[in-house]
Amino acid sequence: MGNSGNAPEQLSYFSSEQHRLRMAVREVIKKEVLPHIEGWEEAGGFPRETYDLFGDLGFLGIGFPEDVGGSGGDIFDLIAVSEEIMRSGSNGFAAGIGSLNIALPPIARHGTPEQIERFVRPVLQGKRIAALGITEPGGGSDVANIQTTAVRDGEGYRVNGSKTFITSGARADQLTCAVRTGESGAHGISFLVIEKETPGYTVGSVLKKMGWWASDTAEIFLDDCRVPVANLIGKENEGFYTIMENFQAERLQLSVMANMTSQMALEEALAYTKEREAFGRPLKGFQVIRHKLVDMATLVEISREFTYRVAAKINAGIDQVKEISMAKNFACSVSDRVTHEAVQLFGGYGYMRGYLVERLYRDNRILSIGGGTTEIMKEIISKLI
């Protein structure tokens, strides 16, 4: 957990209610997830019932207002839940169970009451699985260049194109999909919710990845899909702004994931270097090792505090586009370094599957790519400084 949980309440970012929520999620992860996580990682997915369970407990609705079927709570409720879900030790599980956190906000925020009934409530209850579809085979970071087209045709759109690297993509019931409805560039993009049953919607093979095994990642092909106008989210051609808004939340999530990845790698390294002996003393008895651990711990501390600070400002409604981009880059560079060093400290064991640091190392690698690469973050920051 974030160490700030130990801080005096007036200094902590988390209220005592949020702390209780954290403890509740921690218990569920311990009882319902940790005993199975190795198997889910091997199998490349977790049971669908897990969504039901998390929905019933109200965990899926955290951060969404009650009038859309959510459990309420602010950004720190969501962070507390995310941090504890990360305690599963599997970024893949966290990303899979949490894909609604990137797929639903555009609908919850801009959707009609009918859209909220159809596409938000059932997902927050764990009855339907939602995925976000932005990235395409030909363009990842270059969002304004989306090629998937939606052409108006009577009461609906005809959608053609494909989306890739879609988290929860293999079994999602609905895709919050960015499409081109207008001119080229940023001002011709809209969001449609496309349901899995739509004729022409096909899921490619599940992509085999370096890490995030417990989450299904797939390519989705849209071949002349007829999507009713009723599935348009917000106004036509104003989707780009929604994407950008959504990215802020996703980048905060990824920062939290990176920080927790670092935190767990650090804890593993601290425990291991205490017990493992070489040359007649515990590894921690070596100054170089001790100092390395100190550097790791210092970076983890700074990164977590920075992320919390940015989250608090977002919570207060202050624009944090620059800061969240910085926080993501910083958190990912810290988790790159800390997971690398943790494997090093474990020596040969760190290279073996079955050790948490091995999985953290693999899982970590996508964090500085997904949700906007480090390079894209720098482009954004450079415009704002």
Kindly list the residues in this chain that would bind other proteins in the complex (CB under 8 A).
Answer: 135, 138-142, 145, 164-165, 207-212, 277-279, 288, 336, 340, 343-344, 347-348, 350-354, 358, 361-362, 365-366, 368-370, 373-375
Q: Which residues of 152-174 are buried (b: 16+ CB within 10 A; e: fewer)?
A: eeeebbbbbbbbbbbbbbbbbbb
Nearest distance from C-beta of residue 208 to other proteins, angstroms: 4
Question: Which amino acid, 173?
Answer: D
Nearest distance from C-beta of residue 369 to other proteins, angstroms: 6
Nearest distance from C-beta of residue 107 to other proteins, angstroms: 24
What are the residues whose beta carbons fall under 8 Å from the beta carbon of 262, sequence distance 6 or more? 296, 299, 300, 303, 331, 334, 335, 338, 339
SS3 assignment, position 66: helix
Tokens of 6: 């130990």
Sequential DSSP letters for 146-166: ---EEEEETTEEEEEEEEEEE
How many CB atoms within 10 Å of residue 142?
11
Distance CA 180, CA 199 (A): 19
Indicate which residue of 41, 250, 323, 358 is catalytic: 250
- Of 315 and 373, nearer to other proteins (C-beta) is 373
- Of 15 and 145, nearer to other proteins (C-beta) is 145
Q: Are 244 and 189 in contact (CB under 8 A)?
A: no
- Of 110 and 284, nearer to other proteins (C-beta) is 284
- Of 118 and 365, nearer to other proteins (C-beta) is 365
Distance CA 68, CA 65 (A): 6
CA distances from 207 to 176, 178, 214, 217, 353 (A): 20, 21, 12, 6, 20
Q: Are 120 and 108 in contact (CB under 8 A)?
A: yes
- Of 3 and 141, nearer to other proteins (C-beta) is 141
Distance CA 25, CA 84 (A): 6
- Of 4 and 145, nearer to other proteins (C-beta) is 145
301 is catalytic: no
Which residues are annotated as catalytic?
Answer: 250
